[in-house]
Amino acid sequence: MKLGKNLSCALLLIFLFVVPIFIKSEYHLHVLILCAINIILASSLRAISTVGQLSLGHAGFMSIGAYTSGILVMKLGLSPYVGLLLGGLAAMVLAAVIAYPITRVRTVYFAMLTLFLGEVIRLVITEGREITGGTSGLLNIHPLEPISILGLHIDFATRLPNYYFVLIFMLIVLLFLYRVDRSYIGITFKAIAQDESLSASTGINVARFKAVMFCIGCLIAGLTGGFYAHYVSVLTPDSFGLFTSIYILIYVVVGGTKRFAGAIIGAFILTLIPEMFRTLKEYQPFIFAAVLFLVVFLLPRGIVDLPEQIKIMLRKT
């Protein structure tokens, strides 16, 4: 069993590294990069939710990372790599500052506070025209600088190097979050999500764990934002509105919140579907709503639960 699991993981990895070489279309690569970005965002949102808090401001934290990195690189001439790291850091610092009050409220109140926070961030970006470009956006952000590793010259002007960059970043993030999820700390998180008072009564510092996980999730969102800024080179506040936050949440819910793979599968499928029906772009919210409804009614535990449901159905017949 364990061997089989390791083997399939290895095969998947090889596939992820090899397959883009055969993809000639820049557009298809772009879709894969979007998939990776959304997988990272959804997984980090799920990580925050394992402690029992539902953030509706995730896109806001992503935009902090994106704008910080974009502005620092353009106005101060920093290296995009430094900008990216500082962007992540900025998102984390903001999360840490508001963590103290915000992790003291629960469930729906936490969701509301993060929702407003995300909107406040968006409004600040919209109004800060001199620095952020306002609604017309921050344009012509430099791509990541070319690097040379082992005599290999990598220029991020094309899509393929960006794919590898985000793929490696995604794998690091997923490995980290998976380790957290599966370790002793993961059990503590799930305990907090189930019953905060009971957890506290056994000596768990509930507020601290919630704050730490919130900060880690926002750090990841900020780093992703930083990469996004240099990848797409154009930032507008509307790309990081409430809808984006809700989409990230839908990825997690559709994939399944209970299992680690849920967020990954949800983000992957829901990034592909709208791209497949590109002509129906205007109807994207409808498509998402339809998928969400279907999943909630037919597979309440998300798409990850599909194999098990099929097994149960086969056993019945």
- Tell me which of 6, 79, 107, 194 binds another protein, using CB under 8 A: 194
- Tell me which of 43, 50, 69, 188 binds another protein, using CB under 8 A: 188
- Tell me which of 25, 140, 148, 197 binds another protein, using CB under 8 A: 197
- Tell me which of 77, 101, 151, 203 binds another protein, using CB under 8 A: 203
Q: Tell me: does residue 2 bind another protein (CB under 8 A).
A: no
Whichever of 184 and 297 has its CB closer to another protein, that residue is 184
Q: Tell me: does residue 195 bind another protein (CB under 8 A).
A: yes
Q: Tell me: does residue 246 bind another protein (CB under 8 A).
A: no
Q: Tell me: does residue 9 bind another protein (CB under 8 A).
A: no
Q: Tell me: does residue 40 bind another protein (CB under 8 A).
A: no
- Tell me which of 147, 200, 276, 289 binds another protein, using CB under 8 A: 200
Q: Tell me: does residue 215 bind another protein (CB under 8 A).
A: no
- Tell me which of 76, 131, 172, 187 binds another protein, using CB under 8 A: 187
What minimum distance in Å lies between the beta carbon of 13 and another protein?
A: 19
Which backbone phi and psi does 154 adopt, to 5 degrees?
-115, 120
- Tell me which of 25, 140, 148, 202 binds another protein, using CB under 8 A: 202
Q: Tell me: does residue 162 bind another protein (CB under 8 A).
A: no
* Site residues (vs another protein, CB under 8 A): 176, 179-180, 183-188, 190-191, 194-195, 197-206, 212
